[in-house]
Structure 1
Amino acid sequence: MTATVPPLPPASPHLRLRLAPHSPLPRRFDGVWWPRSYDLLAELPELLAGLPPAWGHIAGITVNGAAWSAAPGRMLVCNKVVRLRKAAARHALDTVVLLAPGHGRWDLLVVPPDTTEEDAAPLMTGALSSPA
């Protein structure tokens, strides 16, 4: 099943995403994302629209199957197919893996949607300061 999502304007001001600065040193996370819900169909289009163009077309996304709402195996975002994979419970609850063929893989720490702003702020900054 494929879901079709209307195109979004680039980088919504409501997107809660923080990306690590470019560095030759490896990092555990390439960014931190704080979605507003566990509804992938609602959250992923805004996330993908806010990513840097240099990351290329994100063609695959892996999330923890236990944490996120039901979603199709693929969805159409801005006229491009994105394959969604819900990994088994052993996949980290707090990460989303983004794959762009020919460009790379990016791991984002996910701050749970119900986290308070007070608790989310240190997570949004602290996760990007520690090396892998």
Structure 2
Amino acid sequence: MTPIDPCPPDSGRLTICDRAPIPGGVDGAWWPRSADLGDELSDVLAVLSRLIGPIRRVVYDTAAWTSAPSRVMHRNHAVAVDAYRLVASDTLYLVGTHSRDALLYVIASDVPAPTARSVLDTVGAGKESIGVTQLRRMVHGQPAPTGHWQEGAAL
């Protein structure tokens, strides 16, 4: 029996917001279909290059991905894809060519659809400042602290 993807192919798995002016503030959230960064990255590059301009580098943690290329081609330009052990496993950094960057919170591909949708919807709503720590609480089922969505620590 073939498993049914709970998220139809035409529904969004990437949402963008204004970066929160707090430590660990995100520019968006992404729910890839698999843990193969090479298979998943092209769509993210297409969308984020509209936000930050041409992308020259993607930085990730190897613990979060089963495989990743050392570079990918996007719009006839090579984009370096670099593993870095100090990057949190649930984040992806994209560095543009004009000193602009983006931080994405990455929802693991095996997170249940209702949880992933909730995170994507929360980030997409952009009603409050949101950062990595708060998104981690949502994914792992921890209660949110009372008050604002403030982050206690940077990545």
Q: Which has the higher contact order (CA 8 A, sep 6+)?
A: 1
Q: Which residue, out of 112, 128, 132, partners 2:108?
A: 112
The runs of 5 or more residues in structure 1 that have no matched partner are 1-11
TM-score, normalising length from structure 1?
0.76
| Superposed displacement of residue 41, structure 1 | 1.3
The runs of 5 or more residues in structure 2 that have no matched partner are 1-8, 132-155
Q: Percent identity?
A: 31
Q: Which structure is higher in helix share?
A: 2
Structure 2 residue 96 is matched with structure 1 residue 100 = yes
Query: How many residues are matched?
Result: 118
Does the 8 Å contact 2:61/2:89 carry over to 1?
yes
Does the 8 Å contact 1:56/1:103 carry over to 2?
no
Q: Which residue of 2 aligns with 1:26?
A: 21
Alignment of 1:12-91 (within 5 A): 13=10, 15-21=12-18, 26-27=21-22, 28-51=25-48, 53-88=50-85, 90-91=86-87
The 1:131/1:123 distance shift into structure 2, 3 A limit, reads closer
> Which structure: larger Rg?
2
Does the 8 Å contact 1:74/1:84 carry over to 2?
yes
Q: Which structure is higher in strand share?
A: 1
